[in-house]
Amino acid sequence: MGTYSAKPQDIKQDWFLVDATDKVLGRVATEIAHRLRGKHKTIYTPHMDTGDFIVVVNVEKLRVTGNKAEDKLYHRHSGYPGGLYTTNFTKLQAKHPERILQKAVKGMLPKGPLGYAMIKKLKVYAGGTHPHEAQQPRALEI
């Protein structure tokens, strides 16, 4: 009995819609990363992109537990010496709520070309509407 390896013609990628209203950031991010990677499928192959497309709406309503709203820090760098910018969860959620979930999921995916291709299948929107109605995403309860 040999090991199954998925072929490009075997891979079928579906579209799923996740409503992040009042969900905990880490729990949503792990489930999304799991589905982007394709680990929920029987045809999962580590070196192939077998995952699905995920559309997430209402990310401005994500929450964190404990004191993380004030204590959790996000860093970015301008590329110049001394150019480190730091902000906390509350400020980043008010200004750019999509980035919080994108950074959380991106850290859970593999690094390199395969991971970069997987993160492109994540579509994140702050409000309740999205432009992917033509793909007919199915609701995914997390």
Per-residue pLDDT of the chain (142 residues; tens, 9 = 90+): 788 899 999 999 999 999 999 999 999 999 999 999 999 999 999 999 999 999 999 999 999 999 999 999 999 999 999 999 999 999 999 999 999 999 999 999 999 999 999 999 999 999 999 999 999 999 999 9
Q: Where are the alpha helices (DSSP H) in 96-142?
A: 97-106, 113-119
Structure letter (DSSP) for residue 98: H
Cβ atoms of 59 and 126 within 8 Å: the answer is yes
Positions of E strands within the chain: 15-19, 53-57, 73-77, 84-88, 122-124, 138-139
Q: Report d(CA 44, CA 46) in Å as an integer.
A: 7
Q: Which domains does the chain have, with CATH numbers?
A: 15-64+96-139 (3.90.1180.10)
How far is 35 from 48, CA to CA, in rounded Å?
13
